Each structure stands twice: as C-alpha cells, then as structure tokens.
Amino acid sequence: MMLKVNDLSVSYGEVPVLHGVSLEVHEGELVVVIGSNGAGKSTLVRSIIGLVKPTAGEILFMGEHMEHMKSQDIVKKGLCLILEGRQLFAEMTVEEHLLMGAYTHRKNKNEVEKNLRRVYNLFPVLEENKNRIASSFSGGEQQMITLGRGLMLDPKLLIIDEMSLGLAPKVISTLFALIKQLNHEHMSILLIEQNAQQALKIADRGYVLENGRITMTGKGAELLNNEEVKTAYLGL
C-alpha cells in the first residue's frame, strides 16, 4: 500500500472540515478525488503532507504513520505535493526552479542530472526556454514548471492539487495526457480535481468528496458514467 488514509477528521479551530475520510492509493495507481469548491479537498492534501494536523484518524505512507511528522521529513520519504496556484518565483529561471526541486538529491549530481533529463524529455518546451524567467510564461507553461520541479524530487507518490485551475481547455488536455504518461511509467499519483470529466477519464479509481465526507467511490469509468456524478459534476 502506497498511501492509506483512515477515518481522518480535521478541524480549523472549532469548525470541522473533514469527517472520517478514508482513501487508499496502491503502488502504480492513479487515484482521483473530485469535489466542488469548499468540499475539503485542499485540506485533505495538506493533512497528508503534514501542513495541517488532523484531530482524529491516521495517515500511513508505505506503512509508516505520518500524522505528526514534519512536512520536510515526509518529503524526504518520497511524497511530493504540488499545491494549487503554481507557487513560482517570478524572477527565477526555469532551470533554477527545477534545480531547487532537487534539494533532497543535491549531493548526488548524477541523480540530479538524470531527473533533469527526464523532466526535459517530458516537457521539451522547458528545455528550449530553460534560461527564461518563470513570470514570462503562460499559465499552462508555468504549471509545467511546477510539475517538473516536483518530479525533480523523484517522488514515490505525486499528489497534485487542482492542476487545471484557470487553464484553457487545450492546455488542460495536454497536462492530463502528461499525467497519464507518468502513471504509465509506474508513478503513483493522487490527483485532486474540480475538473471531474478529465480527471475520471484517466483515473484507475476515484473518490467523491462532499462537505468533508467521502460519499462515493469506484473505478474512474464507473464514476464517469454514474448519473449522480454526471448531474453534480459534469453538467449532464
């Protein structure tokens, strides 16, 4: 088991946000959590990575408890979260961003070079423009920089929060195809998305999060064809 979240509850002060959430990601799986704004998706991923402490429940990564572990220690164990909003430094170049992502491997130059080559093969536009500053790129290209920076960690599990937010449909399709390609290369991925249609198309399994609770789970194709999901999230 790559990731197991069991009966997780989270509150901000006295306000409960997550209520007994459970989910699993097996090795090599692409798992999606869909839900509307305010459903608790970002709180869920922030809890997994250690940015928010749960009030109850457990989080296990590769069999090890993480509920009270520091975020930097979780990252060192091979879990990478790509946060919503891209989080780039405007005056840094593409390659500077990517090399910053390799900080856990900074003493191993061969590992850094290998991961950099992998990122450039996946995103050729980044290699072609590696000396350009991040602020000069489009939103879709900035998302590629963010993904590339995460991949420089060579993570065992990649968690991506709202990758498609604010991007054009053509760019979204390209990014989802790249995520599926990474999964085909045996990377385990947990994708947190409002774009239910695109996400469920590529998912092995999915969860529906509503008002802080998991209300539905199943294979990606099953959820894509579920009438309740169609009505609530696909506009059908």
Question: pLDDT tens track of the chain, all 236 residues?
Answer: 999 999 999 999 999 999 999 999 999 999 999 999 889 999 999 999 999 999 999 999 999 999 888 888 898 899 999 987 767 888 899 999 999 988 776 668 898 999 999 999 999 999 999 999 999 999 999 999 999 999 999 999 999 999 998 898 999 999 999 999 999 999 999 999 989 999 999 999 999 999 999 999 999 999 999 999 999 988 75
CATH number at residue 212: 3.40.50.300
Q: How many domains does the chain have?
A: 1
Host domain of residue 134? 3-234
Confirm if 175 and 16 have CB atoms less than 8 A apart: no
Q: How far is residue 159's CA from residue 86's CA, in Å, rounded to a whole number?
A: 13
Full-model pTM: 0.94
Report pLDDT for 115: 94
